[in-house]
């Protein structure tokens, strides 16, 4: 009888403790969901003062170099020159630069490359418009070379900047995506180049995230560099081929293809057919990995 009473008392005490824990959990959840808690989490900047100082120092060095390059360039109507943020801005910039490019091609290319690499290094949006501008001003072949060169150089620079200060920032911005990426890289150590090529060719992960996260998950730079150099070619070709050469006006739309003047937004570049082609090319890059797995299972 005494044992039965003790059992009842223990059960009752356990229920009370469970209620107390449940109430505490509910109160903690309410605190976490409160606006002040969310604000404090959002405002908790991940970089230390030294890391922030290092980032600002690198930015200052790059900015000074870019400014010095601009000072050496021939005079122009700078009121008409600005970084394009829309297709209409891009058309105006292309028209304003056409004469300048024909008169000072070397100086313009130096300024263009410096600006592109600067934007890519510090994750400044708008490089897609710079790629379209290269196709519009230089045509497909030279435009493709310029875009791939600058995108690879900028991505490499961003890689080393992230290696310096990127770990806390990436884990703060994309914690779930970072865990997923790290797990996928760990599973594909033997065929890492194939996987990186797949990521570069297809829009599976944003290029910005790949640039920042790669050094943190210990991807060797030579693999990162080679995958970037080769993997960006298909998407860059799609971008630069949408150009408006001087003779396009005399050709039919069927003959000239999609011209810069026909674009309404950047989304027009990547329709279902284009994305399917990119994923097909990306699938070819990981085909050796799939075949190896099949042989292992057999």
Which region among 60-74, 238-252, 263-277 has the lowest average model confidence (pLDDT)?
238-252
Q: Does 131 have pLDDT greater than 70? A: yes
Lowest mean pLDDT among 47-51, 75-79, 94-98: 75-79
Range name among 44-58, 156-170, 245-259, 279-293 with the lowest pLDDT average: 245-259
* Cα–Cα distance, 253 to 256 (Å, whole number): 5
35: part of which helix (H) or strand (E)?
helix 35-43
Q: What is the pLDDT of residue 152?
A: 97
Residue 110 pLDDT level (bands cut at 50, 70, 90): very high
φ and ψ of 244, to 5 deg: -125, 85
More confident residue, 217 or 252: 217
Cα 105 to chain centroid distance, Å, stands at 29
Position of tokens 């890689």?
159
In this model, does residue 13 exceed pLDDT 70? no
Higher pLDDT, 262 or 122: 122
- Collapsing DSSP to helix, strand or coil, 144 comes out as helix
Q: What is the pLDDT of residue 246?
A: 37
Q: What is the pLDDT of residues 166-221, one digit of tens each?
A: 888 899 989 999 999 999 999 888 889 999 999 999 988 999 999 999 999 999 99
pLDDT for position 29: 45
Give the mean pLDDT of the chain: 78
Least reliable range by pLDDT among 14-23, 195-204, 233-242, 277-286 = 14-23
pLDDT of residue 36 exceeding 90: no
User: Which range among 121-135, 136-150, 269-283 shows the weakest confidence by mean pLDDT?
Assistant: 269-283
Q: What is the CA radius of gyration of the chain?
A: 27
> Percent of the chain scored above 90 by pLDDT?
35
Average pLDDT over residues 87-98: 82
Q: Which residue has the higher pLDDT, 12 or 105?
A: 105
Q: What are phi and psi of 71, to 5 degrees?
A: -65, -30
| pLDDT at 136 (0 to 100) | 87
Structure tokens at 61: 């060095």
Q: Kindly tell me if the per-residue pLDDT of 242 is higher than 80.
A: no
Q: Please give the pLDDT value at position 289.
A: 65
C-alpha to C-alpha distance for 233 and 273, rounded to whole angstroms = 17
Which residue's structure tokens are 């309410």? 30
As a whole-number percent, the residues of the chain with pLDDT over 70 amount to 71
Longest CA span, the chain:
105
pLDDT attached to residue 64: 93
Cα–Cα dist 10/19, whole Å: 14
Q: Which of 191, 283, 275, 193 is nearest to 229 (CA)?
A: 193
Cβ atoms of residues 214 and 170 within 8 Å: no
What average pLDDT does the segment 26-30 reach? 48
pLDDT score of 87: 78
């Amino acid at each position: 009888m005494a044992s039965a009473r003790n059992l009842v008392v223990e059960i009752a005490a356990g229920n009370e403790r469970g209620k107390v824990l449940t109430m505490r959990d509910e109160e903690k959840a309410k605190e976490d969901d409160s606006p002040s808690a969310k604000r404090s989490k959002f405002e908790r900047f991940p970089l230390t003062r030294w890391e922030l100082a290092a980032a600002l120092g690198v930015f200052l060095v790059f900015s000074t170099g870019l400014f010095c390059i601009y000072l050496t360039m021939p005079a122009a109507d700078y009121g008409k020159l600005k970084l394009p943020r829309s297709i209409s801005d891009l058309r105006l910039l292309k028209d304003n630069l056409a004469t300048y490019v024909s008169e000072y091609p070397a100086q313009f290319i130096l300024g263009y490359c410096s600006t592109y690499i600067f934007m890519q290094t510090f994750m400044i949006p708008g490089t897609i418009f710079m790629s379209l501008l290269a196709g519009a001003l230089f045509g497909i072949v030279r435009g493709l070379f310029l875009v791939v060169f600058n995108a690879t150089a900028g991505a490499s620079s961003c890689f080393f900047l992230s290696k310096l200060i990127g770990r806390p920032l990436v884990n703060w911005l994309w914690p779930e995506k970072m865990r997923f990426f790290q797990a996928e890289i760990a599973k594909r150590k033997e065929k890492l180049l194939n996987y990186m090529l797949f990521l570069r060719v297809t829009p599976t992960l944003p290029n910005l995230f790949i640039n920042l996260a790669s050094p943190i998950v210990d991807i060797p730079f030579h693999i990162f560099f080679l995958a970037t150099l080769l993997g960006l070619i298909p998407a860059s070709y799609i971008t630069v081929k949408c150009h408006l050469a001087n003779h396009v006006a005399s050709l039919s739309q069927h003959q000239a293809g999609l011209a810069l003047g026909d674009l309404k937004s950047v989304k027009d570049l990547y329709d279902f057919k284009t994305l399917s082609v990119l994923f097909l090319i990306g699938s070819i890059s990981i085909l050796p990995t799939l075949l190896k797995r099949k042989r292992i299972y057999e």
